[in-house]
Structure 1
């Protein structure tokens, strides 16, 4: 690509990202129609084949670009979410959250980092691929999904459930971060726990162990739980982690409540999986109910479970992306992330994924989100080369 053409392409990527940022698309808050409409218009104007994805209720949850190659082979996918985290305290921002302005080399606004710039980049890569598609094996899908920041992953689920879509051999997700290709992540097991007790007057002469006190004891049992460390034999570099993320019970001052509800989040690993996590919680519940009996047993309601995942550096699509990033002049390392992400959902479907490589950023999910544009040509070249290498290999 000539220097002038490259400059024009990067300017076009940035302009599309700006338009996306200027359409608020906070997960569970905003209507996704306007932001997806920007993408539909751009894809139509550039003759890139695409179609809408809807969930079981008929709600629009994403767009799917499909570019079939002219030769048999595997399909690969690029994925970028175009919904975002909420703005938080807008008065704390030094620019409007839907700015879209470029200032001193930074693209400003919610979604600049996660992941509207990646969506713009992947649309352009798809357009670049069209003229040479006949010579390529398999095909390329680009998933532009919403309902990601709600953790519902409606777009990804609709894509995987779509019988008309070719199932991808692997997915590269456009989360940001210049120095790392994320090749794995801890899984999770989540549950809501309802702790019961007799209710009573807080001033009563009768001693009552209320639900909040019982729940506090339960938290202490969890804090004392013996979680394994890193198992060097598994090759997974992070240990499991347990967190109590919500604690609600009672109202006012004069009543000791009969119910306290907790949310428990356990990050899992190959050697401490969802079964181990649930076993740990059930053991703690049994100890609680034995030590501080109540008329009604403590209830556990599992909410979500995703497996951990980790690709070797020589597995695809990790190998293609790591190699392409290095060839683009970037120094990157493979990383296993602590938080779970859409890669875990894909892992549960048996689909390998990378879950992050992109531009340097600040303010992700916080105030003053921005992405640094200086390395956009190299990041673009890395993804484009990785896609071409996979599709040429068949």
Structure 2
């Protein structure tokens, strides 16, 4: 049998227990992890959100010498299946075909969760030689965007605050050492209501005013990328809702706006840009009520230096294993942004090759598993002084 048969078998069990965020119950997938870990004398501790729901499992391995704690994190909730008729295999099949593990969550991130469990089991038998400790977080509230597992871990008074976190997203060519932040808001645009066929009506409705605001936002000038941060900020209008029928001029239209931020264009700058555009709209196209902006989310951008831990340990371990891996700053946000906001450095991506991430026919390349496992194991041992 393959020396990684236990990792693959656990990942298959996880895939065969659907855990789509906000759709499926998480009990079955967490039970599979609990059984596997308990069978290796590593019973995990459950983490709960403010409503009492389980949002993750935590495995803790204390070293025999003092030192900082480090964490591995992999989510076991997943994206939805989408159009199942477009898949060429069942999304929960968990089959291995031609060296690829198939099914939703194979790449993001059930195979990584299984591999991190294996690393925990390997270190459990030699913990006396380690400095500090290792925490393995297996969370089920990642794809909701709530990151409840990470939040519960950081809020747990019984858990040691980690000096850094490595998040097991897939992709063997890059270690994600940073990401743009975000600032999101809803914008309520108002107008007088009325009949669409009225001859007396001469002022634009809320949808027309919202369309003008979209034009202003699309034309807004954003700064270029910075020398020490490779991605520029980005503004996107992501939703538009207004109107209730053909014969009524709507009095309200709501827009959703997502702005990706950078160290030189932060949440304050993003909000100011939106408020300036709304003020411009209200001046040039007056309405009975001013435009209302409601911020709904904000994450800080972050970027680690190559010599900063845990990025340095992961990059050095990859080089020691003969892999050509580069540091990358990501455009999308991730748990690393949450951790950065708490002052905890994080990497957010190094793993196996993959296809169909969040799409159809998701699968993960098992041929990459030995090298990826070796890199993480070497990095963890370096951080723990072994």
Q: TM-score, normalised by structure 1?
A: 0.97
CA RMSD of aligned residues (A): 0.8
Within the alignment, does 1:335 sit opposite 2:328 as a pair? yes
Of 271, 278, 283, the residue aligned with 1:278 is 271
- The correspondence of residues 143-162 of structure 1 with structure 2, limited to 5 A, is 143-162=137-156
Counterpart-to-counterpart distance in 2, 1:73 and 1:253: 67
Would the aligned equivalents of 2:299 and 2:341 in 1 still touch at CA under 8 Å? Answer: yes
Q: Which runs of 5+ in 1 are unaligned?
A: none
1:222 is aligned to 217
Counterpart-to-counterpart distance in 2, 1:323 and 1:132: 22
- The correspondence of residues 245-394 of structure 1 with structure 2, limited to 5 A, is 245-392=238-385
Counterpart-to-counterpart distance in 2, 1:125 and 1:49: 14
Instruction: Give the drift of 1:329.
Output: 2.1
Instruction: Give the drift of 1:213.
Output: 0.2
Within the alignment, does 1:30 sit opposite 2:17 as a pair? no
* Residues 221-263 of structure 1, C-alpha deviations (whole Å, 9 max, x = no match): 001101000122xx00000000001111112211111110111
- The correspondence of residues 5-154 of structure 1 with structure 2, limited to 5 A, is 7-8=2-3, 10-154=4-148
Instruction: Give the drift of 1:147.
Output: 1.1
Counterpart-to-counterpart distance in 2, 1:11 and 1:333: 29
Aligned to 1:124, the other structure's residue is in SS state helix
1:240 is aligned to 233
Counterpart-to-counterpart distance in 2, 1:384 and 1:48: 18
Counterpart-to-counterpart distance in 2, 1:229 and 1:162: 40
Instruction: Give the drift of 1:326.
Output: 1.5
Would the aligned equivalents of 1:184 and 1:309 in 2 still touch at CA under 8 Å? Answer: yes
Instruction: Give the drift of 1:11.
Output: 1.0
Q: Which runs of 5+ in 2 are unaligned?
A: none
Instruction: Give the drift of 1:375.
Output: 1.2
* Residues 329-350 of structure 1, C-alpha deviations (whole Å, 9 max, x = no match): 2211000011110100000000
Instruction: Give the drift of 1:189.
Output: 0.4
Counterpart-to-counterpart distance in 2, 1:15 and 1:202: 62
Aligned to 2:385, the other structure's residue is in SS state helix
Counterpart-to-counterpart distance in 2, 1:106 and 1:301: 45
Aligned to 1:385, the other structure's residue is in SS state helix
Counterpart-to-counterpart distance in 1, 2:59 and 2:133: 10
Counterpart-to-counterpart distance in 2, 1:357 and 1:159: 22
Structure 1 runs (4+) greater than 4 angstroms displaced:
none
Aligned to 2:208, the other structure's residue is in SS state helix
Counterpart-to-counterpart distance in 1, 2:174 and 2:266: 26
Instruction: Give the drift of 1:207.
Output: 1.8
Aligned to 1:74, the other structure's residue is in SS state strand
* Residues 84-141 of structure 1, C-alpha deviations (whole Å, 9 max, x = no match): 0010000000000111000011100000000000000000000000111001100000
Would the aligned equivalents of 1:250 and 1:256 in 2 still touch at CA under 8 Å? Answer: yes
Aligned to 2:329, the other structure's residue is in SS state strand
* Residues 189-214 of structure 1, C-alpha deviations (whole Å, 9 max, x = no match): 00011111111111110223100000
* Residues 362-382 of structure 1, C-alpha deviations (whole Å, 9 max, x = no match): 010000001111110000000
Aligned to 1:94, the other structure's residue is in SS state coil
Instruction: Give the drift of 1:49.
Output: 3.7
Would the aligned equivalents of 1:188 and 1:304 in 2 still touch at CA under 8 Å? Answer: yes
Counterpart-to-counterpart distance in 2, 1:33 and 1:284: 47
